[in-house]
């Protein structure tokens, strides 16, 4: 009998932001495939869960994927978690799901255990239209970045993407340079350290956001939400 693959959402910051179902799942699976065993061990220890951990991340080779799929083929129950949020959202968890389904077929149960995601967390407090939006994940560092930025500027839907603190100002300056006349007033919301002690929400137009972020040296990742282009 083929095993079960659980895709389990974990907190994006505050360790209390985890569902009872997620905790029960993490307690009973045969092992947990996680992005960083050190980070995951902190979460599990906080909730008094002693589970076997296997590293699985964007740099994991084919051998690691084959191992996980092989264990599923033996009937094992495996949970996949990321360092923060929902696996598969701007995360290689979706690749594992695709390969596991391809190799094991419909006999494999892939079960979502929903919960936190920085994407939806930020959208919920942005105050911008969210009935339709475009999510771009992490932007390219160099090659192709301007092409992606242009797509976002041209979007009539709300745009969401992730960026690191040491690149955010430079990235927003690219937006400022490429925005056509009249677009400077578009509303932007940036969430930093969401759900954590120093959670900060920045609101304003492109110039105001750049000025605010230029004054901070905080670490971590940010969620950027930009109002869509007016029709």
Q: What is the pLDDT of residue 36?
A: 93
Q: What is the pLDDT of residue 220?
A: 79
Percent of the chain at pLDDT > 90 equals 83
- Residue 39 CB partners (closer than 8 Å, separation 6+): 83
Torsional sign, CA 150, 153, 158, 161: positive
Sheet holding 158-164, edge to edge: 133-138, 158-164, 221-226, 188-192, 200-204
pLDDT tens sequence across 125-174: 999 999 999 999 999 988 899 999 999 999 999 999 999 998 999 999 99
Q: What is the pLDDT of residue 214?
A: 87
CATH 3.40.1010.10 domain span(s) along the chain: 4-113
Q: What is the pLDDT of residue 58?
A: 78
Q: What is the pLDDT of residue 90?
A: 85
pLDDT band at 218; cut points 50, 70, 90: low
Q: What is the mean pLDDT of residues 60-82?
A: 93
Q: For residue 77, how far is the Cα from the chain centroid?
A: 24
pLDDT tens sequence across 167-203: 999 999 999 999 998 787 899 999 999 999 999 999 9
228 pLDDT higher than 90: yes
- Residue 225 CB partners (closer than 8 Å, separation 6+): 122, 123, 126, 128, 158, 159, 160, 188, 189, 190, 191
- Residue 109 CB partners (closer than 8 Å, separation 6+): 2, 3, 4, 5
Multiple choice CATH, 4-113, 3.40.1010.10, 3.40.120.10, 3.30.300.30, 1.10.1660.10 = 3.40.1010.10
Predicted structure pTM score: 0.92
Q: What is the pLDDT of residue 231?
A: 74
Tokens found for residue 184: 């400077």
Q: How far apart are CA 168 and CA 170, in angstroms?
A: 6
Which fold is adopted by the domain 118-226? 3.30.950
pLDDT tens sequence across 85-100: 999 998 888 899 999 9
Q: What is the pLDDT of residue 217?
A: 72
Q: What is the rounded average pLDDT for all residues in the chain?
A: 93
Q: What is the mean pLDDT of residues 9-27?
A: 97
Percent of the chain at pLDDT > 70 equals 100
């Amino acid at each position: 009998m083929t095993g079960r693959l659980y895709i389990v959402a974990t907190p994006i910051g505050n360790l209390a932001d985890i569902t009872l179902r997620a905790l029960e799942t993490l307690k009973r699976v045969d092992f947990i495939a996680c992005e960083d065993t050190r980070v995951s061990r902190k979460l599990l220890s906080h909730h008094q869960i002693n589970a076997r951990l296997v590293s699985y991340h964007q740099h994991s080779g084919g051998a690691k994927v084959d191992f996980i799929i092989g264990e599923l083929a033996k009937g094992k129950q495996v949970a996949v978690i990321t360092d923060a949020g929902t696996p598969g959202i701007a995360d290689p968890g979706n690749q594992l799901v695709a390969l596991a389904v391809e190799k094991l077929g419909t006999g494999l149960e892939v079960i979502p255990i929903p919960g936190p995601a920085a994407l939806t967390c930020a959208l919920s407090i942005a105050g911008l239209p969210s009935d339709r939006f475009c999510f771009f994940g992490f932007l390219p560092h160099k090659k192709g970045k301007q092409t992606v930025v242009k797509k976002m500027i041209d979007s009539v839907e709300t745009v969401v993407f992730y960026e690191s603190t040491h690149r955010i100002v430079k990235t927003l300056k690219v937006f400022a340079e490429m925005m056509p006349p009249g677009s400077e007033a578009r509303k932007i919301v940036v969430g930093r350290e969401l759900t954590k002690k120093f959670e900060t929400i920045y609101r304003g137009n492109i110039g105001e956001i750049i000025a605010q972020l230029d004054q901070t040296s905080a670490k971590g990742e940010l969620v950027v939400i930009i109002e869509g282009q007016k029709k």
